[in-house]
Structure 1
Amino acid sequence: MANVPDPSRPEQAVVDNHSQFDLLRQRRFLPYFTVQALGAFNDNVYRQAIIGLLGAMVLAGTMPSEARALYTQLAPAIFILPYFLFSATAGQIAEKLEKQKLIVITTTMEIAIMSVAAIGFVLQNMTILLVALFCTGLQSTLFGPVKYSILPSVLKPEELTGGNGLVEMGTSISILLGMIAGGSIFLLAGAAGPYVAAVSIIALAIAGNMVARRIPRVDAGEPGLKVDWNIARQSWRIWQLTRRQPAVRNAVLGVSWFWFIGTVLTAQLPVYAETNLGGTQALYIFALALFSIGVGAGSLLCEKLSGRTVEIGLVPLGAFGVSAFMLDLYFARPGQALATGMSVAQFVDAAGSWRIILDLTGIGLFTGFFVVPLFALIQSRTPKAELARVIAGMNIQNAAFIVAAAVIGIAVQRFLGWTIPQVFLALAIANVLVAVWIFTIVPEFFMRFVSWLMVRALYRLELHGIEKHVPDEGPALIVCNHVSYMDALILAASVPRPVRFVMYHRIFNIPVMRWIFRTAKAIPIAGAREDPALMQRAFDAIDAALADGELVGIFPEGALTKDGEIAAFKSGVEKILERAAARGQVVPVVPMALRGMWSSMWSRRDSRLGRMRVPRRFRAHVGVVADAPVHDAAVTAEQLEAKVRALRGASA
């Protein structure tokens, strides 16, 4: 007989221990990931090759240096302009069309655009190249909404953070490598540079289109949508879509602020590397590489730190981490470099350089912590039929922030006389102020940070069956044993979706914890004799949450265990299911159990420290186990209690 794991025995249970890199071996993700990485790489090869051609033309005497400066400043504006003009239309098209088909269309457009650009390189005609650059921006505008709206359709909720982390890592590294490759073409190929650039961008576009055809079919979000071609009207309406939910609205604002920070930082790096670090163009690329590698590493670490949930508690950590490293970057080199013309190796060997290296990498690392959970939150909280349009609205706002960052960066240096380190100092302070403002308006961000910090500091969670048995969408009732005051926070950190917990009102009103529970929209409840009005309000709130397709978590024992054993489940769970059935809704019930919590802090094992017992082992192992959902409106409290007992086993 096969050795089947017994969930009641911790030593046999199979831990949910997947890696986000597993996605790179699956067709539902790998072709899409490759397409977006190739697209980012090709865009930057193209833009840097234009800069390289301008330099070559100046050296050959076919273009004055003043014209080169004009074209260099004009190119970013031409590329960003389509985001303002066509994002609204792009969002509607991405909502209406099947997504794989749209990706094939946009990558086919890329082949045509790069063919025109290739003619521009061969003829060394800047007008053709700038027209193609505008079209490249248009193609990126069309691809943008589908790039992020496709993820919730191909990934499970517990994979969203890891998938977004891979996408951000791939994009960041592709941009860096594209800049290096594009900037090297005219340095290495010499007179053949225009031809090498022409062949390269066409070959990359063709490769992206071929891979796009391997992406599986992904249904349209709203196939019946009627496209409104009025750009101004739809831009306003689509931007308004981003503001319906406070958490999504501020997540979109956070992503736009990320682009503001990135634009200011990367725009200053070329001059900073020369003036303040004393290096050459190679040192600028090295500094950019540090930032990009940091972003990639931070993006990948998000899944590990979040426990495979959409953990927006990482956002405050990322925001304040960015400011801390940016502040230190100012103090590390507040003035100009003492030497000039240093190579990368000479800079690394110079005194104080490792502090700057650490700061640039740290800024990127915490930027990854900041932006990846925001993307995952937008995707998980936005209805699929609106997601592409919300992403389009976000792109409009992103473009505005990018332009504002460029204008402000130039203004404070030219008119206020600020040095680049002073710009970094001001950005660090502004970042703290913006973060505090966002977290004050939507305290859920900071609440999740506090709860994430508490759970991760005190426990090491081992999850069993969560991914398999907790529904990815739709309503469900989670029932679990009740061991400590931390139970709701531990379950919230284990389940990929937000959970509305029902808890005894005295626990709900514990100082400090009360703010966390209220912000998490927990539902306080009391006994029928103690407060019948509160009890009725609680059941009404549960009905509304389940009717809205939310997860509701309850502890049917009605109180914390006093001896470590599971008490009899009360009939409230039956009442919830009966009320749901009366309105025609059969709610699946997911049995779950906590293991190892009895000997942890916040249980009632003893009364030392006011019943707040310090764990015997720092970050003790705690198991969270789930069983298959019960789809039976007539299931009894006793039957559910038996299932939870079997799940918990002998491990209290």
Structure 2
Amino acid sequence: MIALLSRRRFGPLFFTQALGAANDNLFKNALMLMLTFGTGLLPWDDKSLTVNIAAGLFILPFLLFSASAGHLADSMDKAKLIRRIKLAEIVIMGVAVLALWQQQYLWLLGLLFLMGAQSAFFGPVKYAILPQLLSPKELISGNAWVEMGTFVAILLGTIAGGLVVGLEQMLLWLALGLLALAVLGYVSACLIPPAPASPGAAPFRFQPWQQTKAMVRIGHENRTLFLSLMAISWFWFLGAGYLTQFPTFAKDSLGGDNTVVTALLVAFSVGVALGSLLCERLSGGQVELGLVPIGSLGLTLFGLDLAFAPPAQLGSELLGIGAYLAQPYGWRVLIDLGLIGVFGGLFIVPLYALLQQRAKESERARVIAANNVMNALFMVASAGFGILFLSVMSLSIPQYFAVLALMNAVVALYVYKQLPEFVLRLCIWLLSHSFYRVRSRGLDNIPREGAALLVCNHVSFVDALLIAGACRRPVRFVMDKGIFNTPGLNWLFRTAKTIPICSQKADPVIFEQAFARIEQELKDGEVVCIFPEGKLTRDGNINSFRPGVEKILASTPVPVVPMALRGLWGSFFSHQGKGAFKPGKGRFWSKVELVAEPALAGAEVKAEALETQVRALRGDWA
């Protein structure tokens, strides 16, 4: 994974986005501290008004320009666009330095709007370029690094903004920092390799309102993408809810000073960074949606524990970080925040990768732009909820954190009910990381787009789940009705849109319905998997292939990919010995391999030849 940073197709992009995030937060935090603790710098003296105006100026461009930014990123070379955006950053920082020396703080507030605009244009292209620079197996790693780099950069920029304001030569060091980060970001951007415009993208025109409407339409067209956008935006709602309250939480609930606030920020940010990297390790090089429910569960559990961690009573003096850590609750709060960050990383990284993987190439940047708009709206809503619960309803900060944790559970249940694919992938991931150790080879032979028919030997009750876990594309399985109706597994098979089948003699209606559904799924461009033996093996040997495969291909002659499961015979869910599911038999943690060969032309495939090929592919390792 670390090797990815040394490659030109990713390393320069990583450092470009990290330097930009650090510069944003150095400028924003330093300006907020100067305006908060300075006097007479603005025509008004209301510090709360100043903070809200500044926050609004930075986030407003995401609402105004994200749609146009997504359209622009789809319509031109993304590497060239990034370089132009970074040049704009140098100009903005140059004007900021001039405004600092002239003490023109209204200018600086205006420049905060321009920095937000620059970030709004960079956001869509940053994520949309990844699938062009990385292979599908590297996509989850790239997203993990980007999320990790973003949060670490935000942390370092925020801390640096606080430190530089306390220096004697504040203006000099702040000016040098802003210009240095901007210039280094441009130099890094110059090393990003070309990434041509998305095929079929329309020429760019600056029409924010029309482009926003088109962006919303694109976001709604695919229900999976739309619910993923909602889930990502919810994470930013949750994150904003925590981060905004850190200063008050540290002072009023923990009895800590500003060093404790920094420690809370460090714990959360480092947690997200570690969770992002852990996600890559657990995903096995593919977009693993099964980690998303695990992430949401951790967010709720440790959010609730955080709510109950603060003490009932506090001392009269604020504690520095050393004295704070000596308290019984000190480490508990930091660990809770760190784990909230870790599970947040597990939650958000697969969702970003899902957006990039399933969005149409010609619309990918606009889908990311829709995500940015929704993120901004949810963060604004988070501020509104904070005012409602803390000011209007007079809840304490810990009580508010408990409300956030419970709201997270409700939102998660809603999303998973509407999109059960997440739960299905969780069950598959748990199965393949508990009962089995699954390796795959040759799955690149499955077409990335369009219809395909997979044929495989049938060894156990969980063959479909293991194949589904290994394949990147969703697969529609044709399965014996008896297995389809297995208690405890039936809801999984229905969620995966499995097609039940039986012999024509047993039930001619179900038999014909199955073939009609298979034909329709293939015409819709889906991947369908069949087990041509028609039943589970009872002795470990491959049974004769039935002619149903020829019936399928006669009406829809799509590419056929021969596959074989190896090492599954004798495991808990196979029929060896006492039979499947029987106590005291069957291996756990079995080594299993799924192998595939290049696709065959469907019009030429015969069942007997397929059987011979699958037998050879499986070999002696049953």
- Cross-structure match for 1:436: 413
* 3-state SS of paired residue (1:512): coil
Aligned to 2:102: 123
Name the CA shift for 1:313/1:501 in 2 (closer, same or farther; >3 Å).
same
Matches within 5 A, 1:24-35: 24-35=5-16
Of 583, 587, 600, 2:571 maps to 600
Residue identity in the other structure for 1:458: F
1:457 partner SS: coil
Name the residue aligned to 1:110.
89
1:601–1:614 CA contact under 8 A, matched in 2? no
1:166 aligns with 2:142: no
State the percentage of identical aligned residues: 44
**Does residue 323 of structure 2 align to residue 342 of structure 1?**
no
1:237-276 matches, within 5 Å, as 237-276=214-253
Deviations 1:72-110 (A, max 9, x none): 232111000011111121121122122112111211111
CA displacement at 1:400 relative to structure 2:
0.9
- Are residue 389 (structure 1) and residue 366 (structure 2) matched? yes
Residue in 1 aligned with 2:3? 22
Task: Please state how far the C-alpha of 1:290 moved relative to its aligned partner.
Answer: 0.9
Structure 1 residue 365 corresponds to structure 2 residue 342 = yes
Distance 1:481 1:338, change over 3 A: farther
Letter in 2 for 1:299: S
- Asked if 1 retains the 8 angstrom alpha-carbon contact of 2:78 and 2:197, the reply is yes
Instruction: Quote how far apart the aligned CAs of 1:384 are.
Output: 1.4
Give the SS at the match of 2:202: coil
Relative distance call for 1:496 and 1:182 in structure 2 (3 A) is: same
2:28 is equivalent to residue 47 of structure 1: yes
Partner in structure 1 of residue 457 of structure 2: 481
Distance 1:596 1:245, change over 3 A: same
Partners of 1:67 and 1:197 in 2: CA distance = 25
Q: How far apart are residue 265 of structure 1 and its match? A: 0.3
Question: Cα distance, 1:596 vs. partner?
Answer: 1.9
Equivalent residue for 2:285, pick from 308, 315, 340: 308
1:637 aligns with 607
Higher deviation after alignment, 567-576 or 279-288 = 567-576
Q: Is residue 456–residue 563 contact of structure 2 (8 Å, CA) maintained in 1?
A: yes
Residue 175 (str. 1) matches residue 184 (str. 2): no
Query: Does 383-392 or 505-514 show the bigger shift?
Result: 505-514
Whether the 8 Å CA contact 2:573–2:586 is kept in 1: the answer is no
Report what 1:11 is aligned to: none
Alignment partner, residue 559 of structure 1: 535
Question: Which residue number in structure 2 is paired with residue 70 of structure 1?
Answer: 49
Residues 529-538 or 591-600, more deviating: 529-538
Q: Structure 2: how far apart are the matches of 1:361 and 1:339?
A: 28
Q: Match for residue 445 of structure 2?
A: 469
Call closer, same or farther: CA 1:493–1:339 in 2, change over 3 Å.
farther
The residue identity in structure 2 corresponding to 1:124 is Q
Secondary structure of the equivalent of 2:92?
helix
- Root-mean-square deviation (CA, aligned residues, Å) is 2.3
Separation (CA, whole Å) in 2 of partners of 1:334 and 1:523: 56
Q: Unaligned stretches of 5+ in structure 1? A: 1-19
Question: The residue matched to 2:192 in structure 1 has which SS?
Answer: coil
Question: 2:195 matched to which residue of 1?
Answer: 218
SS of 1:386 mapped into structure 2:
helix
Q: In structure 2, what is the equivalent of residue 87 of structure 1?
A: 66
Q: CA deviation at 1:158?
A: 3.1
Find the aligned partners of 1:614 and 1:545 in 2 and give their Cα distance: 41
1:295 maps to a residue whose letter is V
1:553 and 1:145 map into 2 onto residues whose CA distance is: 36
1:319 aligns with 2:281: no
TM-fit CA distance, 1:206: 1.6
Match of 2:261 in 1: 284
SS in 2 for 1:243: helix
Greater mean alpha carbon deviation, residues 249-258 or residues 637-646:
637-646
Q: CA deviation at 1:561?
A: 0.8
CA distance in 2, matches of 1:263, 1:483: 49
Report the 3-state secondary structure (helix = DSSP H, G, I; strand = E; otherwise coil) of the residue aligned with 2:65: helix
Instruction: Report the CA distance between 1:318 and its aligned residue.
Output: 1.1
What's the offset of the Cα at 1:646?
2.9
Deviation at 1:614, TM superposition (A): 5.8
Per the alignment, residue 591 of structure 1 pairs with 562
State the SS of the aligned residue for 1:601.
coil
- 1:579 partnered with 2:555: yes
Question: What is the CA-CA distance between 1:56 and the residue it aligns to?
Answer: 6.4
Structure-1 separation of matches of 2:192 and 2:525: 30
Superposed displacement of residue 159, structure 1: 2.8
Unaligned runs of 5+ in 2: none
Counterpart in 2 of 1:232?
Answer: 209
Q: Does 1:621 align with 2:591?
A: yes
Give the distance between the partners of 2:22 and 2:80, measured in 1 at CA. 22
- 1:282-304 CA distance string (max 9 Å, x none): 21111111111111111112233
Q: Residue by residue, what CA displacement relative to the aligned partner does 1:9-53 show, whole Å, maximum 9, x if unpaired?
A: xxxxxxxxxxx3332232222222221111111111111121243
Give the TM-score normalised by the residue count of structure 2: 0.94
State the Cα distance separating 1:383 from its structure 2 match.
Answer: 1.3
Distance in structure 1 (CA, Å) of the matches to 2:404 and 2:613: 54
- Pick closer, same or farther for the CA change 1:554–1:336 going to 2, 3 Å: farther
Is the CA contact 1:464–1:625 (under 8 Å) kept in the aligned structure 2? yes
Rounded Cα–Cα distance in structure 1 between residues aligned with 2:404 and 2:173: 39
**1:527-580 deviation digits (Å, cap 9, x = unpaired):** 333344433433343334334443222222221111011122233333434433
Could you say if the C-alpha distance between residues 224 and 651 of structure 1 is closer, same or farther in structure 2, counting changes exceeding 3 Å?
closer
Opposite residue 149 of structure 1, the aligned amino acid is A
- CA drift of 1:224 comes to 4.3
Deviation (angstroms), 1:402: 0.5
> What is the aligned partner in structure 2 of residue 5 from structure 1?
none
The 1:505/1:408 distance shift into structure 2, 3 A limit, reads same
Aligned to 1:418: 395
Residues in 1 aligned to 2:314 and 2:209: alpha-carbon distance in whole angstroms? 48
Q: 1:171 offset after TM fit, Å?
A: 0.9
| Higher mean displacement: 456-465 or 400-409 | 456-465
Equivalent residue in structure 1 for 2:489, among 513, 516, 519: 513
Change (3 A) 1:133 1:572: same
Output one character per residue of 1:399-442: Cα deviation in whole Å (capped at 9) or x when no partner: 11100101221232122111110110111111111111111222
Q: Structure 1 residues 216 and 364 mapped into 2: Cα distance closer, same or farther (>3 Å)?
A: same
**TM superposition score normalised by structure 1:** 0.90
Contact 2:570 2:587 in 1 (8 A): no
Residue of structure 1 equivalent to 2:113? 134
Name whichever of 612-621 and 445-454 sits farther off.
Answer: 612-621
Structure 2 match to 1:17: none
Structure 1, residues 366-390: CA drift from partner, whole Å, max 9, x if none?
Answer: 1111111211222222211222112
**Corresponding position of 2:383:** 406
When residues 31 and 640 of structure 1 are mapped into structure 2, their CA distance, relative to the original with a 3 A threshold, is: farther
Q: Distance in 1 between matches of 2:468 and 2:445?
A: 15
Q: Distance in 1 between matches of 2:216 and 2:275?
A: 29
Residue 567 of structure 1: SS of its match in structure 2?
coil
- Contact 2:577–2:585 (CA under 8 A) maintained in structure 1: no
Partner of 1:6: none
Cα distance, 1:131–1:262 mapped onto 2, change above 3 Å: same
